[in-house]
Amino acid sequence: MARPSKQKACLACTSSKRRCDKGTPSCTRCEDRDIDCRYPPSKRRRREQQHPMLDAAASVEPAVITTSSTAAPATDLFALDAGPLSFNLWNTTPWTDIPLLPSAPIPQEQRYPTPAPMQNPLSRRRDIIEAVTRSTWFLSPSSWTISHRHPQVNDVYPTRALTNFTRAMQSWILRWVTDGHNPFIHRGIYASPNPFPPLLQDALALASLYHHSTPQNESLVIRILDEKVSAMITSQTPSGSLETRDHLARVQALLIYTVLRLFDGSVRHRAAAESHIPTLVLWSSQLWETASHEAQSLRATFTPASTQCPVAVALASGVLVPEDADLAAWYLWIVSESVRRTWLAVTCTVDVYLALKGGDRVAAWQNPGGGVKFTARAGLWDAPSPARWSALYRKLEESDDSDGGAYFLQSFDSDKLFVNAAAADVDEFARLLYTVVWGLDRVEGWALRTSASGEVCPTY
């Protein structure tokens, strides 16, 4: 059926400079050649654009082609997603990369689409909670239980294993000074934009000063160290007003000062450090109590109590989107794991010192400090970013290890790793811990026996 006389020739006939019979829905020439027949739109009055910035993102509809008798309903040929924009946690610039198809016909009439309804904040919050909860096996109530055991017959180790532990702690503090992290202070917990507590700023400066001291300024350095420790202890507020991060910072700072002075070799320095051991043990206990209580609140309501954690603030205010669940889980994990490792480091340091001082060469874990669960899987602690941590976590999830599995265990319960895992698959913190639990000789033999998976050295 012939089109109205004002209808122009189809695009294919026009480009090839051939006569077009202007038939619908396809001209004879296009139909014979089995090609797509399209007609240019008729002239129309242009609408005034009230929202020019939205034109590129607006979805379009094709021209409505009608016959002389009936009009066919218009259909959407291209459905472009114009839903809510996604915001990154650290950068509030919206992502608006919506592609436009160059082959789309010019529309007869362009209408602004009805804005997609914003997701209900409560619904979005539930999505985040569900996504993060799947990754928060480290917040379960049972994971915060302190275990105790009776001394075993073989809980006697040579002094070599205990002095190896003291050298390791000293080297880890130096590593924190040079690298910004070590096996019990995570690289991300105090990284920008997270606050860096003044107590740890002082500890970092004094640890650096201590390691670069000379015989000429040694007495001055020790004097500064002693005065700084005394001032820190006397300035502390009641523990009830402190958050988990506050507790963690002061325990880590006092642990650093204690290791520097306790194993210095000087009788006077050792006596000064020993006088602060009861305070270190008390603060460590208060840290664990506060962290476990806050973990239960997180597990139950997912309402972080911390006002310092950017992820917690974002979750509480509803800024996060479900895609940021990995970031939230990562931050919760590094805080939780930092608490666990710091508590274990304090307990083991005190017990090793008492064992060396007593001369009975008993294992550090014979004392009633106890043991707790921590993550022994190599790679998770050293992951430089949330993305790397999430990638390794997903590999564990695929291998049915999503709840920590064999690598999230009590510090006592390590025999199954000795039998089923390679030393290179176990974190450095765990390997040092096991030199005190198993003995240095046994850990060295384990490392050599499984060296095909990677070479590690448990001695310092």
Asked if residue 153 is part of any domain, the answer here is yes
3-state SS class at 359: coil
Q: Is residue 311 scored above 70 in pLDDT?
A: no
Cβ atoms within 10 Å of 79's Cβ, excluding its own: 7
For residues 30 and 5, which has the higher predicted lDDT (pLDDT)? 30
- pLDDT value at position 207? 97
* Alpha carbon distance 258, 206 (integer Å): 12
Q: Summarize the confidence of residues 41-58 as an average pLDDT.
A: 52
With a cut of 60, say whether residue 195 has pLDDT above it. Answer: yes
* Domain contains 71: no
Instruction: Report the distance separating Cα 304 and Cα 307, nearest Å.
Output: 8
Alpha helices (H) in 111-158, listed in sequence order? 121-133
In a domain, 392, yes or no: no
Would you say residue 332 lies in a domain? yes
First vs last C-alpha separation in the chain: 92
Residue 239 has pLDDT above 90, yes or no: no
- pLDDT of 45 strictly over 60: no
Residue 76 has pLDDT above 60, yes or no: no
pLDDT at 107: 46
The overall average pLDDT reported for the chain is: 76
Residue of higher predicted confidence among 77 and 439: 439
Sequence-distant (6+) residues with CB within 8 A of 327 are 89, 311, 386
Q: Is residue 143 part of a domain?
A: yes
Q: Do the Cβ atoms of 362 and 162 come closer than 8 Å? A: no
117-149 as b/e: b if 16+ CB within 10 A: eeeeeeebbebbbebbeebbbbbbeebbebeee
Q: Give the type of residue at 19.
A: R
Determine, yes or no, domain membership for 49: no
Residue 10 sits at φ, ψ, to 5 deg, of -65, 165
How does pLDDT run across 265-275, given as a tens digit for each residue? 888 999 999 99
The total number of structural domains that make up the chain: 1
Q: What is the mean pLDDT of residues 85-100?
A: 28
**88 against 60, higher pLDDT:** 60
More confident residue, 405 or 453: 453
DSSP 174-240: HHHHHHS-BTTB-TTTSSTTS---HHHHHHHHHHHHHHT--TTTHHHHHHHHHHHHHHHHHTPPPGG
Average pLDDT over residues 232-249: 89
For 424-454, what is each residue's pLDDT tens digit? 999 999 999 999 988 899 999 999 999 999 9
Model confidence at 118, in pLDDT bands (50, 70, 90)?
low
CA dist., res. 327 & res. 330, Å (int): 5
143: containing domain: 125-387+399-453
- Cβ atoms 257, 200 nearer than 8 A: no
| Predicted confidence band of residue 345 (pLDDT cuts 50, 70, 90) | very high
DSSP strand pairing (408-410 vs 373-375): antiparallel
pLDDT category of residue 104 using cuts at 50, 70 and 90: very low
Q: What is the pLDDT of residue 130?
A: 60
- Higher pLDDT residue, 359 or 195? 195
State the DSSP H helix or E strand holding residue 253, giving kind and residue range, or none if neither: helix 244-262
Ranking 27-41, 84-98, 369-383 by mean pLDDT, the lowest is 84-98
Strand partners, 136: none
Residue 368 domain-assigned?
A: yes
- Structure confidence at residue 404 (pLDDT): 53
- In a domain, residue 17? The reply is no
- For residue 64, the tally of other CB atoms under 10 A from its CB is 13
Residue 296: how many other CB atoms lie within 10 Å: 14
The residues with which 66 forms a beta bridge, in sequence order, are 71
Which of the listed ranges 23-37, 89-103, 161-175 does the model predict with the highest average pLDDT? 161-175
Is residue 246 over pLDDT 60?
yes
Instruction: Note the pLDDT tens digit of each residue in 53-74.
Output: 444 444 444 444 444 444 444 3
